[in-house]
Structure 1
Amino acid sequence: MGSEADDEGAPTRRDCVKYGGTVIGGGLFAGCTGDRAGSTPDSPATATDTATATGTAAGDESYTVTMAPAGEVEFESVPEDVFTILSHHTDMVLALGRGDAVNAMHAPGYTQSLYTKFLERLDGVSVDWEGLYSSWPPTKEKLYELDSDVHLADPAKVATADGWDEDDLAEIERNVAPWFGNTLSGTRQSPPAGWGEEYEYYDLWEIFGRVAEVFRETERYEALAAVRDSMMGEIESNLPPADERPSAAQVLFSTSDDGMWGYKLNYPGYYAAHTRPLGATDALADAVGDGYGDDGRNITLNDELLLEADPDVLLVLGPMTEYHDIAEIRSGLEDDEVTREITAVREGRVYTQGARRQGPILNLFQTEMAAKQLYPDAFGEWPGYVDGEPYPEIPAGERLFDREAVADAIAGEL
């Protein structure tokens, strides 16, 4: 692609992608006409919440897909080069058999180091994302250079980056490719000024259903959703009564100092899609009270506050990447005169988790691991994670979801 100068003058080759009344910041993109189609409201996270009626034929080949905040976007062909920022969208592209189509993501080294641990258990599925453009915050110049077919990123989120305004978003959509993504549903975070009327919140699998429509991959989506539906049915039918469930806390430790952050287990949004359905008591909720994370975001913790919360189980984000070490974290907790008194530390229930910015693949694995970590009597013992190793091998009879069915869906063997 050329430079920003292409914003002036004749239509570009991107006119093969039409924008059906997309609303941004309260005004229509230049050159767009028509009404914005509505989006399905958020609903409880179930595997059968598909994106029905969001992809409709608009001609012999073209089709439209709708999701807030981008609105209705019309495509004349399936996107081949895909720009992403946050890994929930990247995961979705991978789950639809298009991992090699991704040309950008935030922190590609970190993301690859995490995903390779899980993909080891999916026969034939792998990624090679090393060296991709680290896309947060993005630059217009790089987006022109990448010349993607779709920007699978939330325009309301991009609008918060330095150097971006409505005109910049419209320019990239007009000259390069449309925006199509939803990120603020992760914690039901309030949208930035000018986006409130356009924003709707979805659960993880609703977003995935709409992304699948973009790539005309509804069958792959339905196959993966059926796997999750089966797993959730087993989990829901075997959860112990609420008064017999442990308390838990989900935390992330800093890699540069002694800082740590806590995250809500049961908050609406896809960041908690692996813990909310399990219904454990959130130990931090009582300890922190009303200050527990505006818009569901992280809270800053210290040793004393974590001891006050005193979780029975401590879920630690990050050690499945190469940037954290669970053995070192456990040793630090056991050696500290304050944290050694935490029930989870004393009883050896400090467990590895992956990441909150999860797509469907990570969600399947993380839900399984959290279920075993919280309820070993109901779902089988968690075998433990060894630093640097893949997701642990679990005997076939003790798995909560079918690995072969997932790998087949990703490969298109339906």
Structure 2
Amino acid sequence: MDEDSTERNSLTRRNYLKYGSVLGAGLLAGCTSDSDGEGAATEETTAEETESTTEETTTAEPDTSYSVSMAPMGEVTLDSVPESWIAYNGGYADMGVALGVGDKMTGIGGASRYYTYVYDELPGVSVDRSVVEENQLLDSDMSKEMFYALDNEVHLMDPNMLTNWFGWKQQDVEEITKGVGPFFGNLIFRREDEWHDYRYYTLYEAFEKVAALFQEEERYQAFNELHDEFIADIQAKLPPADERPNVLLVYAGSDEPEKFSPYRLNDKGTSKKQWRDLGVSDALSGTGIKGLSTTDRGKIDYEAMLEVDPDVILLRAHERKSAQEFRDTVLEFMKSHPVASELTAVKNDRVYRGGYLYQGPIHNFFLTERGAQQLYPDVFGEVTSDEKLFDRQRIADIVNGDF
């Protein structure tokens, strides 16, 4: 990244409160009263003019500033609702779309993991892919110059991610905060990084914070109510706990995978939300194997998988494939592999796409529906079917302000 420490003197026009100055106007004095009353008339006229002048000079624009608070930034004060913003990942980008401000998004950290195709099923909801693909912060390795160039009023990302992943210094964070716009975000997709020693948020807790940032609390409430209704309906239909599968969630981007980065479902990060809501157990429980994190990049192979022999294997990094395309490539390779073919999940064709690393509230509806069909096809229908478990129009209505 750009480590240039050249001081930038042009402070932002957005992140400091503007105060109207009150001009004091002294009353004219010293007029003596003549016998014909001219002095009294002059004094009265002068008082009226002074009052009018004082009223005009003390009239200021209404104060539209407000504050929002979130760890690790603490309180962030804005003088008005942001008119431009950028997110590092698809989870926070999806929150902005859900809140009806997607058209003000100027880019993203990396577009490849922001899955916008789900919006195709929501009437009147879309994101301009050309914008997010053209303005990717990762294209410049998260350089400060890119932040200056895009000139956003707020950055939806955890600033500590920048210092721990991309080599930023705290002074770099402060420079962009003052020179461009504040940061507002918390790394919530996993909870296994040692450097994240401050409060985490659930998906909807973080969503509520972002809603406060954009002053869209009513939209948030509408989403929250619909989400609770949806999850309650799904959970009411789940089989008893002892009849639910145990699950192994891993990452491997190849169509012919041999080694895998493990994830732990007991990690309460937002990327595993649907699996927790669907009541499955973690196949790695009790093994001592830790989940992927900044400091733990360990991998497992098919022999290690055989030791736990999960009922279901969920494989991330294949979200551009349909369910059938995934079966025709990845699953077919595993079925022909001398070790993988011995796995119960492979024998039973129970290897599926594992969901997004970064998911927002709209994503979560689709991923929960898909997960329910992957895990409980007898209850919710096959994942390759056209069966729908939630009303797309209701989500579109909320996004479009009809709630």
Corresponding position: 1:332 with 2:333: yes
**Are 1:203 and 2:202 an aligned pair?**
yes
Shift of 1:299: 4.9
Distance 1:188 1:352, change over 3 A: closer
Q: Which residue of 2 aligns with 1:140?
A: 144
Amino acid at match of 1:375: Y
Alignment coverage as a number of residue pairs:
349
Q: Is the 8 A contact 1:91 1:360 kept in 2?
A: yes
> Letter of the aligned partner of 1:170 in structure 2?
E
Q: What is the distance in 2 between the residues matched to 1:217 and 1:329?
A: 42
> Cα–Cα, structure 1 residues 145 and 6, in superposed 2: closer, same or farther, change >3 Å?
farther
Greater Rg, structure 1 or structure 2?
Answer: 2
What whole-Å deviation, never above 9, does each CA across 1:324-367 have from its counterpart, x for those lacking one?
Answer: 95121011110001111111111122223431211111111111
Identity %: 36
Unaligned 5+ runs, structure 1: 19-58, 385-391
State the TM-score, normalizing by the size of structure 2.
0.80
Residues 15 and 182 of structure 2 are in contact (CA less than 8 Å); yes or no, is this contact kept in structure 1? no
Match of 2:48 in 1: none
Quote the RMSD (CA, aligned, Å). 2.6
- Map Cα deviations across residues 133-164 of structure 1 (whole Å, 9 max, x no partner): 22244111111111101011101111124441
Question: How far off its partner does 1:306 sit?
Answer: 1.6
Secondary structure class of the residue paired with 1:306: helix
Structure 2 residue aligned with 1:68: 71
SS of residue in 2 equivalent to 1:315: strand
Which residue, out of 78, 82, 98, partners 2:81?
78
Counterpart position of 1:265 = 265
Task: Say if 2:386 is the partner of 1:393.
Answer: yes
**Partners in 2 of 1:65 and 1:359 — Cα distance?**
20
1:403 and 2:396 are equivalent in the alignment? no
After superposition, the C-alpha distances for 1:24-44 in whole angstroms (9 at most, x for unaligned) are: xxxxxxxxxxxxxxxxxxxxx
Secondary structure (helix, strand or coil) at the match of 1:13 reads coil
| Structure 1 position 253 matched with structure 2 position 255 | no
Are 2:181 and 1:177 equivalent residues in the alignment? yes
Change (3 A) 1:15 1:224: closer
TM-score w.r.t. structure 1 length? 0.78
Asked if the contact 2:251/2:317 (under 8 Å) is kept, the reply is yes
Distance 1:214 1:92 in 2: 11
Aligned to 1:301: 300
1:61-106: CA deviation from partner (whole Å, max 9, x where unpaired): 2111111001111111111111211211111111112222222223
Answer yes or no: is 1:187 the counterpart of 2:190.
Answer: yes
- Counterparts in 2 of 1:226 and 1:15: CA distance versus 1, 3 Å: closer
Whole-angstrom CA distance in 1 between matches of 2:398 and 2:170: 38
- 2:349 counterpart residue number: 348
| Shift of residue 239, structure 1, vs aligned partner | 2.2
Letter aligned with residue 132 of structure 1 = E
The one-letter code of the counterpart of 2:399 is: I
- Amino acid of the structure 2 residue aligned with 1:293: G
Q: Is the 8 A contact 2:192 2:267 kept in 1?
A: no
Q: Deviations over 1:359-399 (max 9, x none)?
A: 11111111111122112233x22232xxxxxxx632xxxx3
Q: Distance in 2 between matches of 1:162 and 1:246?
A: 38
CA deviation profile, 1:270-289 (whole Å, cap 9, x unmatched): 12111112221212334xx1
Mapped to 1, the partners of 2:160 and 2:104 lie a distance apart of: 24
Is 1:360 paired with 2:361?
yes
Structure 2: tracts of 5 or more residues without a match = 19-61
Contact 1:312 1:349 in 2 (8 A): yes
**What does residue 288 of structure 2 align with?**
290
1:323 shift after superposition: 11
- In the other structure, the counterpart of 2:224 is 225
SS of the equivalent of 1:97 reads coil
Secondary structure in structure 1 of the residue aligned to 2:64: coil
Give the conservation status (yes or no) of the 8 Å contact 1:255–1:323: no
The secondary structure found in structure 1 opposite 2:76 is strand
Q: 1:111 is matched with which residue?
A: 113
